[in-house]
Structure 1
Amino acid sequence: MRELKILAVVVVLTLITYWGVEPFAHSQMHPHVEAPDYTFEDVQADITDVKALTGNAENGAILVQTNCTACHSIEAQGFPQIMDDASSAAAYGVVPPDLGTSGKLYNPDYLAAFIKDPAKASKTSHKFVDGKVHPMPGYGWMQPQEIADMVAYLQSIAPKEMTDKEVFKDACQRCHGIKYGDMKNGTMSAKTPVENIKAYMGKIPPDLSQYIRSRGAEYIHEFVNDPQKHLEGTAMPRVGLTHDAEKQVVSYMEKVGDSKKQEREELGPKFLIYLVIFAIFAWLWKASKWREVH
């Protein structure tokens, strides 16, 4: 009977700690933030005139090729990168992305807002003060139809399917490396040289190999969707990914940084069953010994 009382006390204290102290500590260290917004509600007012129009991909092709290919490549459409990564980074601060997959990766409303005003759409206006300007000029001077045409073109040339790794490379690898993705060959290092990205961002963006373990999938979704929610004033831009593209980024990070997740989750119930069986045998053994004593 004494053992049961001791067990009850331990269980109560454990529950108080787990359900009382731990959630409070977590709420202080990780304050609640709003759920990710994949409609990008804050840019809707800026693109009302664009959304009311139907884009013409053929006209958009001319506009994109005329205004964008001096800095951006579109390899799949025969527009190679004009400068190598080092030269591009030195000129712009960060390697400009290839636009061939942007129509699939990025929310179309975000794309339209980004074309009009990159700093505002990406929530990095606080970086570009005192004469500093975003490396990509805003095209707010364009007619709404022209912006709609550009978005339509980018969507028309985007691939229908992409692997998780391909999505990560196009969405994240310009700034972030994930060295555990290819330790031997180093192909998953950040594309922008360290000295350039440090000058552009203010610090070196972290390698993401283990971020799925240290931060968790929910945090990464919230952070990618809007970094300012968790780290106000951060230099990391809001990326503007669709929900599906963002899930693929997280999926790739899990494959690299938490490859044993499924195996671990499958082992958990088996281990608990083992503990229950072990506890039953331990109790039976104890009962038999006490019967001998008495």
Structure 2
Amino acid sequence: MKELKIFGIVAAFTLLLYWGVEPYAHSQMHKHVEGHDFVYTGAADVEEAEAAKKTEVAEAKKAFWASVGKIAKMKGNVANGEAAFATCLGCHNGAGVNMGGVIPPNLDHAGAIYDKNYLIALIKDPAMASNVDHKYKDTSTHPMGSIKMMMTDDQQIADVVAYLQAKKAGEVTPKQAFEEACGRCHAMRYAKWTQIGETPKFKYEKDALAYKIKVLDEQDAVKKYMGKLPPDLSIIIRARSEHFLETFVENPQSQLPGTSMPRVGLTKKGYEEVKAYLEEVGDPSKPKREALGPWVILFFFIFTILAYLWKKEKWRGHH
């Protein structure tokens, strides 16, 4: 019984230190941010502006997202949307050419990984949708700003989004979700991914050096556009908590006010696909580790019983 009492005291102090000190320290070092479950209504943007006492900005955001909600209720025509989408192919053609500081994203799975409201907002005003309007005195100067001049008709926007959701959706792998949503700015050295795509194998060193120069040039362009080079995400899944990643991806401004990182507008499912790829690259042993866990617990359980029986046998008659 004495050993059990000692064990109980040690366990109590351990729990007190872990659940009392660690969470408190974490709460002081990292502010808590409420997530919105990847639902884009503009409420978070308005709250941020009001908290910063930017009344005019808050009113502008409120009006903007109200117009987005209005378009979201409209019935889109897929055929008309396909015709209008031809306007987008000048940039979103998969050519990998840097335009305005960053390579335009591939939209092959846009309807599957991006939220409908976000897509509407992105066409209507890319800077406002991405929540980086603080970077632009005139949001039309955003790299994608010209689209708001080209598609001013609400019905046309509804048609294009209907087309994206009908024809640019389908099944998407975790790797595809990451590449389309994050891969233009963030490298993944453990996956041999750069800002211009997956690093191929080279037969000659001069070809590898030529490719590296292209990567460095692209990184310089991204750095100029963003203010600094976005971090490599190879082990971000282990460096940050799940809550931080979820709220940061949903709305970067919530965790880093004033950051240049745009909101990408992922749906909950789209985020889960991206997270799955981050885990696959940054923590590949996780599935094996989780599968081994129950066996380790079972081992300690059996070992504890055997140790107790052994102790009872050896101390029999000595009390």
TM-score normalized by the length of structure 1 = 0.84
1:179–1:186 Cα contact (<8 Å) kept: no
Return closer, same or farther for 1:53/1:128 CA change in 2, 3 Å cut-off. Answer: same
CA RMSD of aligned residues (A): 2.7
In structure 2, distance between residues paired with 1:53 and 1:7: 65
Runs of 4+ with deviation above 4 angstroms? 189-192, 291-294
Residue 154 of structure 2 is aligned to residue 144 of structure 1: yes
Q: Deviations over 1:230-253 (max 9, x none)?
A: 221111111001111111111111
Q: Which amino acid in the other structure matches residue 238 of structure 1? A: R
Summarize the alignment of residues 27-176 of structure 1 with structure 2, pairs less than 5 Å apart.
Answer: 27-42=27-42, 44-66=65-87, 68-73=88-93, 81=95, 85=96, 88-89=97-98, 91-129=99-137, 133-137=141-145, 138-139=147-148, 142-176=152-186
Residue 59 of structure 2 corresponds to which residue in structure 1?
A: none
Paired residues, number: 279
1:72–1:97 Cα contact (<8 Å) kept: yes
Return closer, same or farther for 1:243/1:192 CA change in 2, 3 Å cut-off. Answer: farther
Q: For 1:97, what is the secondary structure of its paired residue?
A: coil
Which piece of structure 1 moves more, 100-109 or 228-237? 100-109
In structure 2, distance between residues paired with 1:26 and 1:4: 32
Q: For 1:212, what is the secondary structure of its paired residue?
A: helix
Shift, 1:121, TM fit: 0.7
Summarize the alignment of residues 194-273 of structure 1 with structure 2, pairs less than 5 Å apart.
Answer: 194-273=219-298
1:174–1:191 Cα contact (<8 Å) kept: no
Which piece of structure 1 moves more, 258-267 or 1-10? 1-10
In structure 1, distance between residues paired with 2:68 and 2:216: 32
Runs (5+) with no aligned partner, structure 2:
43-63, 201-211
2:111–2:166 Cα contact (<8 Å) kept: yes
Shift, 1:62, TM fit: 2.7
Q: Deviations over 1:209-267 (max 9, x none)?
A: 11112224333222111111122111111100111111111111111222221221121
Return closer, same or farther for 1:39/1:130 CA change in 2, 3 Å cut-off. Answer: closer
Shift, 1:292, TM fit: 7.1
Return closer, same or farther for 1:55/1:131 CA change in 2, 3 Å cut-off. Answer: closer
Identity among equivalent positions (%) equals 45
